[in-house]
Amino acid sequence: MGLFSDVERMGLGGVDMNNVFNEGKKQTSASPSELEQPKETEKKEEDVLFDKSYQCPICDNNFKVKAIRTGKVKLVDQDEELRPIYESHIDPLKYDAVTCPRCGYSALTRYYKPVTTAQLRTIRQEFCANFKGIPEEDGCMSYRGALLRHKLSLICAVKRNAKNSEKAYIFLKMAWLMRGYLEELPADDATREELIQEENECIQKAYEGFQAAFSKETFPMCGMDEMSLRYTMAVLAHKLGKMEDAVRLLAGVLGSKTASARIKDKALVLKDTIKNEVMANK
């Protein structure tokens, strides 16, 4: 089927996974006290949503999309690769890709802003002209709906020749969404295997993209400082079985005078994990 088979069915075409990061080529846990609270006291996702207004930079359409109210959902943890985890099983990551319902132009919220004249022309000709609409999401965003909007964001990022870091970040966000989706699916669900494969594919592309961006772009990158990105890349390298790369990246974090104590603690845990895995395989 392929990672982008759903957008291909929409008539938009997928992404050439081998050329996403080519540059210069014009593109024609909650605390015990919280866990003990009865379910009826937990926040409901629909209760923390509001309609946020946007103006499309491509067709000037004014529209509204659902978004999470700032400060209404508490961050309770981060997983190994810094994926944020919020209270009450609410996942704000699902709302981070914005799609214009008229022309289809899509981008992550931090990148939904004006484009150049050349980008405008390319996106209108090569993307919007083929857009046939997107299924509406009633109320809370589903993981499938969120993933579709992130895929459209990636295609638009490719069309406007966005930085490698932005494209890598979209792949990382897609991997996070797939993880969240997997966590809510039953263990015997038939789609789990396909999702796991697609998550691994996104991890691979995120790592490649951040590698391409690391030495050429300036920090902060996608909201991350250098040490946070080094650590994130180390986690991705570990997941891909690139142990030497992971150890090298972790050494940069642990030897840094600017890395936060939190990042260094996570780096130490990952370093010990890798060491134990290497010893077990000898």
pLDDT digits (tens, 9 = 90+) for 147-183: 999 999 999 999 999 999 999 999 999 999 999 999 9
Paired tokens of 207: 């790592």
Q: Which residue has the higher pLDDT, 34 or 126?
A: 126
The predicted pLDDT at position 166 comes to: 98
Paired tokens of 127: 């993307």
The predicted pLDDT at position 243 comes to: 96
pLDDT exceeds cutoff 90 at 14:
no
Kindly state the average pLDDT of the residues 239-265. Answer: 96
Cβ–Cβ < 8 Å for 52, 66: yes
Exposure class string for 209-220: b at 16+ Cβ within 10 A, else e: bbbbbbeebeee
Kindly state the average pLDDT of the residues 138-145. Answer: 94
Describe the crossing of helices 143-159 and 117-126 by its angle, rounded to 10 degrees.
Answer: 120
pLDDT exceeds cutoff 70 at 94:
yes
The predicted pLDDT at position 15 comes to: 72
CA distance 50 to 47: 8
CA distance 172 to 165: 10
DSSP readout, 213-262?
Answer: HHTTSPSSBTTB-HHHHHHHHHHHHHHTT-HHHHHHHHHHHHT-SSS-HH
Task: State the pLDDT confidence band at 27, using cuts at 50, 70 and 90.
Answer: very low
pLDDT exceeds cutoff 90 at 98:
yes
Residue type, 132: K
The predicted pLDDT at position 17 comes to: 72
Question: Percent of the chain, pLDDT > 90?
Answer: 78
pLDDT exceeds cutoff 50 at 28:
no
CA distance 87 to 76: 6
The model carries a pTM of: 0.88
Let me know the angle formed at the C-alpha of 111 by 105 and 250, rounded to the nearest 5 degrees.
130
Cα dist from 46 to 29, 73, 192, whole Å: 21, 12, 26
The predicted pLDDT at position 40 comes to: 46
Task: State the pLDDT confidence band at 224, using cuts at 50, 70 and 90.
Answer: very high
Task: State the pLDDT confidence band at 13, using cuts at 50, 70 and 90.
Answer: low
Task: State the pLDDT confidence band at 21, using cuts at 50, 70 and 90.
Answer: confident
